[in-house]
Amino acid sequence: MQKIIAKRVSMLELFYDLIFVYAISKITAMIHHPVAGGIPLFNYIEFVFVVIMVMQIWLYQALYINRFGKSRIIDTIGLLISMYAMTYLANNINTECSVTFGTFNSAVVLIVAGLIWQYLCGSEKQPMRDHDVRAFAVTLILELIAVLSGLLIGYHYGIFLCVLGGLIGFLMPLVVYKQFVPENVNFPHLVERLGLIIIITFGESLVNITRYFKGSIIQPFPALIFVLLVTMFGAYIIQDELLINHHQRSRGFVLMYSHVFMVIALLSMTAGLDYLAESEVSRMNLWLLLSISILGYYICLVANGVYNHRDVKLQLKDYCVMLMIFLIGTGISFYGMQSNFGLVIGFALCGISEFLWLLKISRVRK
């Protein structure tokens, strides 16, 4: 098979990503303030939906550039329209849906309409003949109809149509999965783009933990939090750069959807680390939030093992060892959860051990 030539990530794409740095910080703020010792279920559902909405917008733009982008005027204009509207969308991310409903969904309408225009006019394909363009266009048109209808109806009933539109955009590609042609995907470009969104998300975590880095430079508690984040990111680097075969033909669906849920897990963990400074937060709720978030992150990470080089495919033994490491780490954290140090040390040991195990696997590759 001919080796795939990686499409270069352009400066404009990196510029586009900047607004998502702001959007992710606004999303994190949705669950930043604990209520009655934890996160209200409805607020968390809102948070998850907004992550899905923002990530699917980012993905549709990234996939257009991945398949059809050639740094033409239409590509540049489309990207800038999306970025302009995304600024309004990000500025209206909060838990007051009734207040921000109009502006938020107006921005979604503009972004989705721009994406439809790009796919239909910028792909240089016949929409009714090309499977990829047809699948993308139909999905986005259905999402546009649902969100626009909800916007016109108004908040009280229209919110349900807007949510439906977001779910159509997120889930419908799974329904028409076979319509997408693997040969049209520049897989190394897709891996790099998704890696950048994870870097942005880890950046949000680092910004939030800076509140603990005060006083003496040698303190065990902030050092443990730092080690936890560094080793989790290190595990991602090993999987993303050393284990995955970048030069393969694949639709990349597992890669894309796992990264959406990885962002949810990382932002949930970020909120949990922030809660360490809040005395009114239930220690059990805090332990559960951090445990589930970290588990979700590693599940998403190892799910991408389906793309690994043949000689470093994850085996049942690897899954069992990584699960055992997680259980021991969370067990240590449970035992010491009444103190911040005791709570974090188990998770830090878990992060170190998972990183070392993946590093051991990567050394198998010649």
Question: DSSP labels for 292-319?
Answer: HHHHHHHHHHHHGGGGB-GGG---HHHH
- Are 194 and 61 in contact by the 8 Å Cβ rule? The answer is no
Q: What is the pLDDT of residue 271?
A: 92
CA 271, CA 34: separation in Å to the nearest integer? Answer: 9
- Are 359 and 313 in contact by the 8 Å Cβ rule? The answer is no
Q: What is the pLDDT of residue 343?
A: 93
CA 107 vs. chain centroid, Å, equals: 20
Q: What is the pLDDT of residue 215?
A: 82
Q: What is the pLDDT of residue 282?
A: 87
- Are 139 and 169 in contact by the 8 Å Cβ rule? The answer is yes
Q: Residue 144's CB: how many other CB atoms inside 10 A?
A: 20
Q: What is the pLDDT of residue 125?
A: 77
Q: What is the pLDDT of residue 365?
A: 60
Q: Residue 203's CB: how many other CB atoms inside 10 A?
A: 14
Q: What is the pLDDT of residue 96?
A: 84
**AA identity, residue 353:** S
CA 230, CA 235: separation in Å to the nearest integer? Answer: 9
- Are 13 and 65 in contact by the 8 Å Cβ rule? The answer is yes
CA 341, CA 98: separation in Å to the nearest integer? Answer: 40
Geometric angle at alpha carbon 194, from 189 and 199, rounded to 5°:
125
CA 219, CA 47: separation in Å to the nearest integer? Answer: 33
CA 130, CA 180: separation in Å to the nearest integer? Answer: 9
Exposed (0-12), middle (13-18) or buried (19+): which is 78, by Cβ within 10 Å?
Answer: buried
Q: Tokens at residue 104, please? A: 């938020």
- Are 304 and 283 in contact by the 8 Å Cβ rule? The answer is no
CA 112, CA 117: separation in Å to the nearest integer? Answer: 9
pTM of the model as a whole: 0.94
Look at the block and give the residue holding tokens 């919110």: 159
pLDDT in single tens digits along all 366 residues of the chain: 456 778 888 899 999 999 999 999 999 988 887 777 778 888 899 999 999 999 999 999 999 999 998 888 998 999 999 999 999 999 999 888 888 999 999 999 999 999 999 999 988 777 777 888 999 999 999 999 999 999 999 999 999 999 999 999 999 999 998 889 888 899 999 999 999 999 999 999 999 999 999 888 888 999 999 999 999 999 999 999 999 999 999 999 999 999 999 999 999 999 999 999 888 888 999 999 999 999 999 999 999 999 999 999 999 999 999 999 999 999 999 999 999 999 999 999 999 999 999 999 998 765
CA 136, CA 86: separation in Å to the nearest integer? Answer: 20
DSSP β-bridge partners for residue 35: 38
Q: Residue 244's CB: how many other CB atoms inside 10 A?
A: 22
Alpha helix ranges (H) inside the chain: 11-29, 41-68, 73-91, 97-121, 131-153, 155-175, 187-209, 220-237, 253-275, 283-303, 316-335, 340-362
Which sequence spans correspond to the domains of the chain? Answer: 11-183, 185-362
